[in-house]
Structure 1
Amino acid sequence: MITLKNVTLRRGSKVLLDGVSATINPGEQVGLVGRNGAGKSTLFALLNGTLHEDGGDFFMPPQWRMAQVAQHMPETDEPATDFVLDGDTRLSSLRNKLSKAERTGDGMAIAQAHADLQDAGAHDAPARAQALILGLGFQVAELDRPVNSFSGGWRMRLQLARALMCPSDLLLLDEPTNHLDLDALVWLEAWLKRYEGTLIVISHDREFLDAVTGVTLHIDNGTLTRYGGNYSQFEELRAQQLTLQQASFERQQAKIAHLQKFIDRFKAKATKARQAQSRVKALERMEKIAPVLASAEFTFEFQEPANLPNPMLALTDAAFGYPSEDGAESTILTGVSKTVLAGQRIGILGANGQGKSTLVKTIARTMAPLSGKVTEGKGLAIGYFAQQELDVLHPDDHPLGHMVRLARELGVDAREQDLRNFLGSFNFSGDMVLQAVGSMSGGEKARLVLAMIVWQRPNLLLLDEPTNHLDLATREALAMALNEFEGTVMLVSHDRALLRAVCDEFWLVGRGQVGPFDGDLDDYQRYLLEESKRLREQARTASSAVSAPAAAAPPQRDAREQRRLDAQARQLLAEKTRPLKRELDKIDQRLAALGQEKAALEERLMQALPAAEIADCGRRLKACADEIEVLEEKWLDMSTTLEELSR
């Protein structure tokens, strides 16, 4: 296990953790939370060995293998699959041993290396690497593309896949969801739930933390506190603790005031001096309870739009896409006919690569429709937050300079003090308004972009992944501001808490179309898993069609090898289906018991019974019927899965 005993950690002269103690047990999945700058990344640096404790004792089992996402941008022309495959450090080491043995002609070493490679899973390593890449949103055609040919966000996904490829006992993930779409996020959650090692993750996505963690470590004002439970449970426990602490503090203050009043009143009286002195000693011995210091939450609001055209815009039989490298048009969406009304809250859903950003960019006027018509309402004012919006900020300029330039571009006469006051409402106060943007954190840059959008008083907000660099407090402030915004919101986000809080309807972008999505986000997650499966099947079919003509005849295996492979396939199928069959048996047994209970209750209700007993039987009958309905639906889903596996 990992243990910290009275550990102190400093960054420069600042003490971030002061005499903290905590234990992390093997196999636990831990969420590390706290405000920006509290010391989360510093604690990670202690865990990965780049920083040492300034005091106290830190222990981690020396035999543990550790994996984490490299923070530097990879610069290599290595194919994506090979790059991720190299993340398996054990395989790389064994391959080097095999090469060395082959060079020296050491037959025993060669045989041992081949056996070790087999044990390390060398036979299916490329398939495992490609499964990670595809799960994180890449297309089959991109598996062999050079790493350098991808944009920065996609290269960081490859770094994540490389970390997941590495065999590990401890996995450290620092904001792993920042560059992911919702479909890749759902896949990552499922992968992490199956991870058998110890996981410690820093994230500002509350639903992600709820899904993958069962323990929460909270850093606050130099302390480190362990809570059993996921993030939502932590919030509830923390609120209860703070309420109790504040109540205890107030009771103690009342007691102190009472003792002090007695001391002040009687310390000069000879007859009461001894009693007064005993109360002085009681005050000195009393362990003081600290008050709850409520830190000011970040809040902001969108200004009232100058006007609200209705409809905001209309799309008529439009086709969206972009010119390809050879000059031809690459069409992604066709036949789009939608109307956007004033006050709508639209969440735009769709699997990776289906055209969400293309749709938003076209509405935002950064791309033109390939055909059809986009009709804008009179006075439409768009506030557009793009995924790459942070990249267009000027790193050498400061927030005040950005606001002055924005006012100049819009032809607005704004006083410098007014701009300073406005930036102050977004937590850019004092000298921060003159700090170079290039030296700011991602969250601070995102707040600056939000400030610039708010200042323009838009009536239509187009937000494409606005939360990538925002902490939990700022995400909650954004959700509150969007709910109070009087205009229209169109939102693309992998933050399900934000989508749930803001959107009251969803559009689904997929298979070249844009249509309504009638379910909720839980239904959408199921849709994503089905769509991912469909795309894998499609890619497998296409791959088979391409490779079939190239081979005149399939390679022949001898009968013994074929029997071995058949037995291996049967064993793999049995391992996959055994848990499902066990679960189906349990459901069958429970359904049989519920059926008997239901029949008995129905027979009993046919008799003359007292009113209270009739009501009790009716409640139990309804509970049986509800449970039967749930179990039957689960039985059908699992049976379908079992049939597909068997095929």
Structure 2
Amino acid sequence: MIRIDNLTLQRGTKVLFDHASATLNPGERVGLVGVNGSGKTSLFALLLGELSPDGGDIAFPPTWETAHVAQHTPAVDRTALDYVLDGDRRLRAIEARMATASAAGDGHAEAEAHAAFADADGYTAPARAETLLLGLGFTAAQTGAPVNSFSGGWRMRLNLAQALMCPSDLLLLDEPTNHLDLDAIVWLEDWLGRYPGTLGMISHDREFLDATCTVTLHIEHQQIKRYGGNYTFFETQRLLQMEQQQAAFTRQQKQIAHLESFITRFKAKATKARQAQSRVKALEKMERLAPVHAAAGFSFEFREADAAPNPMMVLDGVACGYATDAGPLPILPHVTLSLQNGQRIGLLGANGQGKSTFIKTLAGTLAPLAGTVRHGKGLQIGYFAQHQLETLREDDTPLQHLARLAPDTREQELRDFLGSFNFRGDMATAPIRPFSGGEKARLALALIVWQKPNLLLLDEPTNHLDLDTREALTMALAQFDGTLMLVSHDRHLLRATTDQFLLVGDGKLQAFDGDLDDYRDYLLQQAAAKRAALAGLRTPDSTSPATDAGPSRKEARRAEAEERQRLAQLRKPLEKDLATVEKNMAALQADKAEIDAFMADESSYAEANKAHLLEMLRRQAEVTEALDTLEMRWLELQEQLEQIG
């Protein structure tokens, strides 16, 4: 059990925890949430002993082995496999005992060390380490490559594999999906589902939190509040509690106003003085409730584009790749594609298969090696690259970045626009160097929105965004009227903003016939096939998982996947129609509200407004009839979707 008792912690002048308490039970899977800077990472540091509390206590069993992901990777020559094996500290200690006993010629000690090695599953350790590396996206050849040959993102994957290799009682993961693609996230999610210890997780990926965590700790106002459910459950419960708190506060304010009014009116009257005095005492004893102070959620929307070409772009026999000194290096040697207005496409596929290369070719930052790319008239591309933040100028201000795009626009108009992205006051004219990754990503999004794109090409746009900004991006993309192509490991974003998928792999770009649940099944089957190959097993179907359940179980899974794909195909057109109906209903309801407000105004019935009144009455009838028709259609679509299941 982990017990947090009256914890107090101050970092600099900022108080992170003020007599906060919480309890976690062994084996629980805990998601830690709160705004950036609320103290999530500091709480992990306290659990790891890297920080000491200013007051109170954090306690858990001293025998527990704790594992966490190191933030730095030494640039060593040792192989990736050896580096991951270092995560099992007990095993490395036993190996050291074996070497010492062997060097000393102590046969008895060597025998004991060999027995301990077997008890620690030492003989299977290399295979387990290799499984971790393969699951996180490394190839079999890369497991033998030196650590210093990998880039920063891949080194963080090595650190994650090393933490998973440790046989731990408590596993602490701080943003583990930041350097992973969707394939590796699905594998990690499956691995964590089998982890037997206590799990602590900090993540901005809500679907990952939902899938892996069963308890949520929310840090707010220097306190820790426990919710017995995943992130979605926490959001629902917190909203309900905030509504109840605000309702109770409103009732109390009415009661206070009534008491104060009575006291004011009757305190000077002899016959009522006693009653007035009793109400004064009641006010003094009343425990005042606080109003709800919820942080204002950030939101934005894309500006309406100046044109809507169709098709947006046509690729004819295009080879996507790189020109090298040794000659052209095609990644996707032959792509023929027509991008239509209004399409919403998600790109799937493992890292290194060509997703970013394809996006760069569409964006025009990478010239095609062969073939032709034709743009529709009036095409305006909004491109967010995977390393977009590196294109920003660190010593320039947000205002200077925007002014370069709009040199003829008044400064006040630029300031107003930046203010809508929370760059207000001095922040608009401050150099961006000290800005957080999330603030820089928000600026990059603002620059794209300003250009009024009709084709959005987004390559991992959520990498530096917190949950609130991710939700704002999701809502904005859902309402975007143009064409969208998205690469993201955030499944919530993909589900909410795309309606078809293209799979990039083995040098090809092809349609993926299914949804993200089908893709998850596909990835798990691929992972199982890798494990089988690693174990030297032969499987008749390389895409099917090797299990102990035999052919019948394989066939059942395949049938289930096929049925899901069939239902998905039936649902897609209905869901698209439903979204259109809901959008039209929202517009009509806004019109109805405007008309109702006009009708409720007495001045609307004056003789001077007679013509306008007649026009509004006509509109009212039209809007009511259109709403009735749409509501009937909405009900029909809902019934059809329910029948499909």
Correspondences of 1:510-589 after superposition (within 5 Å)? 510-534=505-529, 577=548
The residue type paired with residue 403 of structure 1 is L
Contact 1:74 1:155 in 2 (8 A): no
Deviations 1:252-292 (A, max 9, x none): 11111222222222222233333222222221222222111
Contact 2:319 2:334 in 1 (8 A): yes
SS state of the match for residue 144, structure 2? coil
- Of 171-180 and 358-367, the range deviating more from structure 2: 358-367
Distance 1:500 1:93, change over 3 A: same
Map of 1:561 onto structure 2: none
Equivalent-residue separation in structure 1 for 2:10 and 2:206 (angstroms): 28
**TM-score, normalisation: structure 2:** 0.80
Correspondences of 1:145-544 after superposition (within 5 Å)? 145-323=145-323, 327-407=326-406, 412-534=407-529
Contact 1:136 1:187 in 2 (8 A): yes
Equivalent-residue separation in structure 2 for 1:269 and 1:117 (angstroms): 91
Per-residue deviation, 1:505? 1.6
SS state of the match for residue 368, structure 1? coil
Correspondences of 1:110-121 after superposition (within 5 Å)? 110-121=110-121
Contact 2:67 2:172 in 1 (8 A): yes
Equivalent-residue separation in structure 1 for 2:438 and 2:60 (angstroms): 32
Per-residue deviation, 1:134? 0.8
Correspondences of 1:590-605 after superposition (within 5 Å)? none
Contact 2:322 2:329 in 1 (8 A): yes
Per-residue deviation, 1:182? 0.8
Deviations 1:83-118 (A, max 9, x none): 111121112222222233333333322222222222
SS state of the match for residue 168, structure 1? coil
SS state of the match for residue 118, structure 1? helix
Identity %: 62
Contact 2:131 2:531 in 1 (8 A): no
The residue type paired with residue 286 of structure 1 is M
Per-residue deviation, 1:60? 1.9
Contact 1:465 1:493 in 2 (8 A): yes
The residue type paired with residue 26 of structure 1 is P
Contact 1:322 1:329 in 2 (8 A): yes
Distance 1:102 1:439, change over 3 A: farther
Structure 1 runs not aligned, ≥5 long:
544-572, 588-625, 631-647
Equivalent-residue separation in structure 1 for 2:22 and 2:155 (angstroms): 35
The residue type paired with residue 128 of structure 1 is R
Per-residue deviation, 1:189? 0.3
The residue type paired with residue 503 of structure 2 is L
Per-residue deviation, 1:313? 0.6
Equivalent-residue separation in structure 1 for 2:387 and 2:148 (angstroms): 18
Distance 1:321 1:202, change over 3 A: same
Deviations 1:425-459 (A, max 9, x none): 21122232344433222211211211222222222
Per-residue deviation, 1:152? 1.5
- Of 517-526 and 417-426, the range deviating more from structure 2: 417-426
Map of 1:635 onto structure 2: none
- Of 97-106 and 532-541, the range deviating more from structure 2: 532-541
Deviations 1:54-102 (A, max 9, x none): 2223212221111111122543332211111112111222222223333
SS state of the match for residue 43, structure 2? helix
Equivalent-residue separation in structure 1 for 2:338 and 2:248 (angstroms): 57
Distance 1:291 1:346, change over 3 A: same
Equivalent-residue separation in structure 2 for 1:466 and 1:74 (angstroms): 29
Contact 2:81 2:144 in 1 (8 A): yes
The residue type paired with residue 303 of structure 2 is Q
Per-residue deviation, 1:539? 7.9
The residue type paired with residue 206 of structure 1 is R
- Of 139-148 and 339-348, the range deviating more from structure 2: 139-148
Equivalent-residue separation in structure 1 for 2:497 and 2:88 (angstroms): 41
Map of 2:568 onto structure 1: none
Equivalent-residue separation in structure 2 for 1:58 and 1:248 (angstroms): 34
Distance 1:422 1:542, change over 3 A: farther
Equivalent-residue separation in structure 2 for 1:169 and 1:267 (angstroms): 66
Per-residue deviation, 1:220? 1.5
Deviations 1:489-537 (A, max 9, x none): 1001111111111112221222322122221111111122233445666
Equivalent-residue separation in structure 2 for 1:459 and 1:398 (angstroms): 27
Distance 1:540 1:24, change over 3 A: closer
SS state of the match for residue 439, structure 1? coil
The residue type paired with residue 339 of structure 1 is S
Deviations 1:21-59 (A, max 9, x none): 110111000011111122211212211112222222321
SS state of the match for residue 199, structure 1? strand
Equivalent-residue separation in structure 2 for 1:118 and 1:358 (angstroms): 47
Per-residue deviation, 1:538? 7.1
Distance 1:304 1:238, change over 3 A: same
The residue type paired with residue 107 of structure 2 is G
Equivalent-residue separation in structure 1 for 2:458 and 2:86 (angstroms): 36
Equivalent-residue separation in structure 2 for 1:398 and 1:422 (angstroms): 14
SS state of the match for residue 21, structure 1? strand
Equivalent-residue separation in structure 2 for 1:42 and 1:166 (angstroms): 22
- Of 183-192 and 72-81, the range deviating more from structure 2: 72-81
Contact 1:140 1:539 in 2 (8 A): no
Per-residue deviation, 1:2? 0.7
Equivalent-residue separation in structure 1 for 2:57 and 2:275 (angstroms): 45
Equivalent-residue separation in structure 2 for 1:538 and 1:274 (angstroms): 89
Equivalent-residue separation in structure 2 for 1:164 and 1:369 (angstroms): 41
Contact 1:305 1:458 in 2 (8 A): yes
Structure 2 runs not aligned, ≥5 long:
539-545, 557-641
The residue type paired with residue 482 of structure 1 is L
Contact 2:320 2:334 in 1 (8 A): no
SS state of the match for residue 141, structure 2? helix
The residue type paired with residue 204 of structure 1 is H
Distance 1:250 1:402, change over 3 A: same
Distance 1:378 1:76, change over 3 A: farther
